[in-house]
Copies of this chain bind each other. A is one copy, B any other.
Amino acid sequence: MRDVYILGIGQTDVGEHWETSLRHLALEAVEAALKDANIKYPDAMYVGNMLAPQLSNQSHLGALIADFCGLRGIEAVTVEAGNASGAAALRQAYIAVASGLIDSAIALGVEKITDTVGSGVNAALATMTDSDWEASHGATPTTIAALIMRRYMHEYGVTLRDFAGFSVNAHANAKTNPKAMFRNVITPDAFAKAGMICDPINMFDSAPDADGAAAVILIGADTVRAHGADDVRAHGRAPVHPLVRIAGSAVVTDAMAVHDRPDPLIFKSAKESAEKAFAQAGIGVEDLNVIELHDAYTVFAALSLEALGVSERGKGWESAQNGGISLKGKTPISTFGGLKARGNPGGATGLYQVAEVAMQLRGEAGANQIANAKRGLTQSLASSGATAVTHILERVE
């Protein structure tokens, strides 16, 4: 098994791309990543997507997108794990390159949600829950999150307003992220007064469904070179950007239906996948300079911080209040806006997280830069933690 580096990243703007098709979004991210990596083509493509079969009448995205991106012929498949599909695609790309079977791989996340009107999207999103035991009773990801949040508030004696800091921080950071969907600053008051979606989850508590694509190119550490005509080694050229190493990678599942979990206020898969990734990287949570977690709802941010060991059980919400999660805090999160304000393009989200942490570690985060960031963690969840995918990234000195 060999070391694996991130050689290139690419992102489209996150938003409502009514005039751009699924494949065009993918192309834009792939082209950006290839340019960033300074290579002609990768040897394999792993496409993370969750809703194209239902919302775009398009499956078999591996071959389709490889073909449309001018990469006809390369190995390509779709990887799906609900909202964590993009992160799961990176995991497959990582394993493939680490194995030595594949020299370079592109993990692409792409999602197109906003062409479809409300109930169609909810029905599609509900297929990510347990169809027989959750969706068939009317549950959707948001209604399940609302139950979890209500239970959290009850158990720990906190109010909706106590979660405001997560969204305030996310919007503050998105302000200077040109790719972000919502670049407006919000206040705790605005948060508290936002329209209710599914009590106690309101508009400012919940991440917006969005369209977008993000791509990350991996390469074996021993083969840091370009392909095709531009062989870095032959030409004596170095990669364009500082290199980032995948130091840890893990996927862990949990009970699919939240009611099957012994304690719905523990994100067990998040905890265990983080532990595995930390063990592989040989570091602990205290060594991290930046965390991109799955803040699809503020209570998920709180529970993720608890799962990661940043906060004690029942204390995750306090992180939203003491400034610890801001760009200058001890544990910065959602540094480009997170799911809440950068936007949540489903199966692409996990790769936005990775691209963002890579920018932090490269020192290319601009106004959002964490000073001297050396190590970061990304964590992507699906179905309230039925799947958790964690990666630890490290700057190559």
Contact = CB atoms under 8 A, between A and B. Distances in A.
A199 interface: no
Interface in A94-108: 95-96, 98-102
Most B Cβ at <10 Å: residue of A61, A92, A250: A92
22 contacts: A1-B99, A1-B100, A54-B54, A57-B126, A57-B131, A57-B135, A59-B82, A59-B128, A60-B81, A60-B129, A60-B382, A62-B80, A63-B256, A64-B386, A67-B254, A67-B255, A75-B251, A75-B253, A77-B88, A92-B95, A96-B99, A98-B99
A17 to B, nearest CB: 16
A58 interface: yes
Contacts of A61: 80
A53 interface: yes
A339 to B, nearest CB: 17
User: Which 7 A-B pairs give the minimum distances between C-beta atoms?
Assistant: A99-B99, A63-B386, A60-B82, A78-B80, A75-B251, A63-B253, A58-B131
A348 to B, nearest CB: 15
A229 to B, nearest CB: 21
A61 B53 CA distance: 14
Nearest to A102: B95
Interface string A248-273: 00111111100010000000110010
B101 A67 contact: no
Nearest to A253: B63
Contacts of A130: 64
Contact of A101 (B66, B82, B98, B129): B98
A88 to B, nearest CB: 5
Interface in A67-83: 67-68, 72-82
A71 to B, nearest CB: 8
B67 A386 contact: yes
A62 B127 contact: no
Copies in the complex: 2
A386 B95 contact: no
Interface residues of A, number: 64
Contacts of A23: 132
A42 to B, nearest CB: 13
Contacts of A375: none
A387 B127 contact: no
Given A58-B127, A60-B386, A253 B79 contact: no
A250 B92 CA distance: 15
A59 B79 CA distance: 11
A21 interface: yes
A99 B60 CA distance: 26
A48 B101 CA distance: 21
A254 B76 CA distance: 10
B254 A60 contact: no
A276 to B, nearest CB: 9
A383 B99 contact: no
A50 interface: yes
Give the residue among A75, A100, A255 with the most B Cβ atoms within 10 A: A75
B91 A77 contact: yes
A82 to B, nearest CB: 4
Contacts of A99: 1, 95-96, 98-101
A150 to B, nearest CB: 23
Nearest to A388: B63
A127 B53 contact: yes
